[in-house]
Structure 1
Amino acid sequence: MSDHFSKVATHYFASRPHYPEALFEWLASQCPERQQAWDCGAGSGQASTALALHFDSVLASDISQAQLDLLPDNPKIITLCTTAADSQLPANSVDLICIAQALHWFDLDAFYLEAKRVLKKKGRIAAWCYGTPVIDHPQINHLFQTFYQSGVGAYWPPERKHVENGYADLPFPFTRRANPSFELKEKWQLEQLIAYVQSWSATACFIEEKGFNPVEALKDALAEHWQTEHTISWPITLLMGANAPL
Structure 2
Amino acid sequence: MQPLDRFSGHADLYAQYRIDYPADLYEFILKYCPDRQHAWDCATGNGQVAGALAELFDQVDATDISETQLILAVKKPNIRYQTSLAEQTPFTDNSFDLITVGQAIHWFDVNAFHEEVRRVAKPNAVIAEWGYGLVKLGTGLDEIMLDFYRNRIGPYWDPQRTHIDNRYAGLAFPFANVQYATFTARRTWSLERFLNYLRTWSAVRQYIHENEEDPVIGLGEELKPVWGDGEREVTFPVFLRLGVVS
* Fold shared per TM-score above 0.5: yes
- The one-letter amino acid of 1:144's match is M
Which aligned pairs between 1:214-229 and structure 2 lie closer than 5 A? 214-227=215-228, 228-229=230-231
CA change 1:47–1:194 in 2 (3 A) is same
Structure 1's unaligned 5+ residue stretches are none
Is the Cα–Cα contact under 8 Å of residues 19 and 184 in structure 1 kept in the other structure?
A: yes
Q: What is the distance in 2 between the residues matched to 1:148 and 1:17?
A: 18
For residue 120 of structure 2, what is the aligned residue in structure 1?
Answer: 118
Point out the more displaced range, 224-233 or 148-157. 224-233
* Superposed displacement of residue 30, structure 1: 1.5
Is the Cα–Cα contact under 8 Å of residues 187 and 229 in structure 1 kept in the other structure?
A: yes
Q: What is the distance in 1 between the residues matched to 2:178 and 2:120?
A: 19
Is the Cα–Cα contact under 8 Å of residues 85 and 110 in structure 1 kept in the other structure?
A: yes
Q: Among 71, 74, 80, which residue is 1:72 paired with?
A: 74
- The one-letter amino acid of 2:218's match is A
Counterpart check, 1:157 vs 2:180:
no
After superposition, give the CA deviation of every residue in 1:106-141 in whole Å (9 maximum; x if it has no partner): 0112211110001111100000010101112x1122
* Superposed displacement of residue 210, structure 1: 0.6
Q: Secondary structure at the match of 2:227?
A: coil
Query: Once superposed, what is the RMSD of the aligned Cα atoms?
Result: 1.2
Q: Secondary structure at the match of 2:98?
A: strand
Is the Cα–Cα contact under 8 Å of residues 127 and 243 in structure 2 kept in the other structure?
A: yes
Which aligned pairs between 1:2-81 and structure 2 lie closer than 5 A? 2-81=4-83
For residue 95 of structure 1, what is the aligned residue in structure 2?
Answer: 97
* Superposed displacement of residue 176, structure 1: 3.6
Q: What is the distance in 2 between the residues matched to 1:192 and 1:55?
A: 32
* Superposed displacement of residue 234, structure 1: 1.3
* Superposed displacement of residue 100, structure 1: 0.2
Q: What is the distance in 1 between the residues matched to 2:180 and 2:165?
A: 20
For residue 197 of structure 2, what is the aligned residue in structure 1?
Answer: 196
Q: Which runs of 4+ in 1 moved over 3 A?
A: none
For residue 173 of structure 1, what is the aligned residue in structure 2?
Answer: 174
For residue 243 of structure 1, what is the aligned residue in structure 2?
Answer: 245
- The one-letter amino acid of 1:45's match is G
* Superposed displacement of residue 217, structure 1: 0.7
* Superposed displacement of residue 181, structure 1: 2.9
Is the Cα–Cα contact under 8 Å of residues 51 and 75 in structure 2 kept in the other structure?
A: no
Counterpart check, 1:142 vs 2:119:
no
For residue 130 of structure 1, what is the aligned residue in structure 2?
Answer: 132
Structure 2's unaligned 5+ residue stretches are none
Q: What is the distance in 2 between the residues matched to 1:59 and 1:205?
A: 30
* Superposed displacement of residue 86, structure 1: 2.2
TM-score of the two chains, using structure 2 as the length reference: 0.95
Is the Cα–Cα contact under 8 Å of residues 180 and 242 in structure 2 kept in the other structure?
A: yes
TM-score of the two chains, using structure 1 as the length reference: 0.95
* Superposed displacement of residue 180, structure 1: 4.2
Percent identity, aligned pairs only, is 38
Is the Cα–Cα contact under 8 Å of residues 17 and 185 in structure 1 kept in the other structure?
A: no
After superposition, give the CA deviation of every residue in 1:121-171 in whole Å (9 maximum; x if it has no partner): 1100000010101112x1122111111111111000110000001001000
